[in-house]
Amino acid sequence: MGKRIERQRQEERIERGGQSLPDKRAARRRRRKRSEILSYTVLILLIAVFAVGIVLGVRELVSRSRGDENTEDTQDKVEELFSSEGELKEPEPVSSEPSVPELTDAQKLDQIVNAGIEVMPLEDKVAGLFIVTPEAITGVSTAVQAGDGTKEALSKYAVGGLVYFGKNIQSKEQVSEMIENTCLYSNYPLFIAVDEEGGSVSRVAEAGLAEKAPSPGDIAAGGDAAAAYQAGISIGGYLAELGFNLNFAPVADLANVEGSCMEGRSYGGTAESAIPYVTAVAEGLKEQGITPCLKHFPGIGSSGQDTHDGMASTERTLEEFRAEEFGVFAAGTEAGAEMIMVGHMAAPALTGDNTPCSLSEAVVTELLRNELGFDGVVITDALNMSAVKDYHDSAEAAVLALRAGCDMLLMPEDFEAAYQGVLQAVQEGTISEERIDDALRRIYRIKYADRVGGE
């Protein structure tokens, strides 16, 4: 009975599509096996992909590493080439424009000077040739300060410089302020001049503003050229401190006749004895920023007469001048003197007559310019001296001096008349404007020299 019932149930399950328990278990085992195989297969595939990735990555790293090494090697080689002198040079820049040589200091200075002169009106050019006292342009009896009167005067007359004497000097503060204001009022740079030779001709020292230097005669008597140099340093130092920039010194004359007008003011009677002292003083002044002016060409010490008082003359021959006096002036210019003052003494052996040397073309142009080769500033001695004013009016003397070859005119007796006379001579063609420009070029080479840091 029981067995029949069990068979009946199995038949019913078969009819319903069911399976027996043993069959189900067998089916599950088969499915599990298939899953395990599939999982192992996927795992193997993943491991293979991962391995391939690792291999490719390692190859890339190796490749990059080798590339970096190659780059570093290349850079090292380039740097080695650049650091090797002569092996690799930077190519020169190619320019279609021609190269312009660098200007010398002298050429730069000439450019500055010429540019300044080109824009100057004729009236200022002519006025710039004069060095006068402050009284000559202001009309006051004694100038001890520079105020509105000086400012107006310099606006009307653009003179090239002013010269001061003992009456203008009261104290350090006074003279310094006067000079400073004067320079501020001028539209152009000024020569601020003084006679400071040492000894009896010492305008500043005699006013008590500095210790007086020994006279040229005393220095020479000491036999030590170093004392002359020290005198130049000392004089130049206190002049520069006060505002001066031009000294009418040293004396280059030779006191070579009995009763010479330059006795005591000269450094000797021969070129050999005087040259060491003249050059030493000039060098000392230059080192202190003071322009030295040698005086009085061609050498008035061979006369016993004084041009302040009237005509003075000498019997000295041209050969004697060449053998002695000319050598002193040449040595002084070699020592740095850029200005020479020509005296009013008559030297018939040089000029053929009693014409003052300052007004003689034979002396100024033919001898000083051409024979001695001097290309600095030539200035007259004071034109208010009797040796000139007793024979020529102010306008005539000024024109004659310029035609002779002088560049600057010192202290005419009547400045206004001299100025107008020169201006008229240029306007009428008696003196060319180029002649005026030529003089101004020499003047401004001195005044502007510091703008190019040298000469």
| pLDDT greater at residue 344 or residue 39 | 344
Boundary of a domain, candidates 17, 45, 79: 79
Q: Are residues 176 and 318 in the same domain?
A: yes
Q: How many CB atoms lie within 10 A of CB 86?
A: 5
Q: Which domain holds residue 394?
A: 105-452
Q: Are residues 114 and 63 in the same domain?
A: no
For residue 99, tell me if it sits in a domain: no
Lowest mean per-residue pLDDT among 106-115, 243-252, 406-415: 106-115
Per-residue pLDDT at 30: 62
Q: Are residues 238 and 302 in the same domain?
A: yes
Q: Are residues 254 and 197 in the same domain?
A: yes
For residue 86, tell me if it sits in a domain: no
SS (H, E, C) 81-124: HHHCCCCCCCCCCCCCCCCCCCCCHHHHHHHHHHHHHHCCCHHH
Q: Are residues 72 and 111 in the same domain?
A: no
Q: Are residues 72 and 154 in the same domain?
A: no
* pTM score, whole prediction: 0.78
For residue 379, tell me if it sits in a domain: yes
Q: Are residues 112 and 75 in the same domain?
A: no
Q: Are residues 198 and 344 in the same domain?
A: yes
CATH number of the domain enclosing 279: 3.20.20.300
Q: Would you say how long the chain is, in residues?
A: 455
Boundary of a domain, candidates 79, 97, 128: 79
For residue 98, tell me if it sits in a domain: no
Number of domains in the chain: 2
Place of tokens 């004659």: 400
Lowest mean per-residue pLDDT among 42-46, 134-138, 153-157, 194-198: 42-46
For residue 16, tell me if it sits in a domain: yes
- Residue 40 confidence class, pLDDT cut points 50, 70, 90: low
Q: Are residues 29 and 121 in the same domain?
A: no
Task: Round to whole Å and give the CA distance between 435 and 122.
Answer: 12
For residue 38, tell me if it sits in a domain: yes
For residue 309, tell me if it sits in a domain: yes
For residue 90, tell me if it sits in a domain: no
